[in-house]
Structure 1
Amino acid sequence: MSSFDELQAVIRRGAQARQAEVQACEGFLTLLYHALRAASGPGLPLNNVSMDPAPDPQEVLRPAPLGSWHAARYRLGLCEVLVRVRRVDGAFRGEYGLGEGFRVDDVTDESVLRLARQLLRDVIKMYGGAQEDGAHLN
């Protein structure tokens, strides 16, 4: 078997695991989008939040190997933030903004909502430490 044939066989064997990882990471990014929309509290959705799945800017192989990053751009009113996430030891690890990182071990609505609120606070700090007043998030 040539090296080329071996490469094709390895890629085919890992296809299901890669697809499951892609679905899990994309699902997490979608949960984060919904959490960002609900970050102001019950009945106060943030209407100017949108999500666009994006290719990871550091992706060098396609299909992406297991453990690769998956990304989405979130529009938060006047700014955008790229969020990258991947699976590590059953948890979601990610990064956003100017080097902020996170780890979510137990994916619950509350844990993702906490992450969304932290992301918003961090983005506020990145733009100059403006007052953290939830009433001005819309």
Structure 2
Amino acid sequence: MRHPNDNSFAERRKTADNAKRELLTKFASAPKATDPGMQERLAAREAVAAARTARRAEREALKAAENERLLREAAEAAAAAEAQDRAEAEARQAEINDRVSRVVADEAERKAERDRRYAARKARRA
């Protein structure tokens, strides 16, 4: 008993040929690169690509400017911190110098007082 869908070789071959022919007609009827519609679509794609490139360049320029600003701020902060450290070091050195000068002045004052007493004692004995 034969099935109604049991095609013979010739029918299958004919169906395959028809399918190939339909594919060829489909691709043959596709728009060519020289068609005005295709030219418009290609131009639109190129415009989109150019706009994308421009936006990317703008983003990169903004990033570079932001990085430069951050570097400049960091350099300014480092310079300010260095100046503050230098000022603190100078203040400490000035304080040390002041103490040293006071100690030297006190020693000179004590020596002068001791010399005065020594001279007064000598003057009383003589």
- State TM-score, norm by structure 2: 0.28
Q: Which one has a larger percent strand, Structure 1 or Structure 2? A: 1
Structure number, greater radius of gyration = 2
Higher RCO (CA < 8 A, seq sep 6+): 1
TM-score, normalised by the number of residues in structure 1 = 0.26
- Counting helix residues as a fraction of each chain, which structure ranks higher? 2
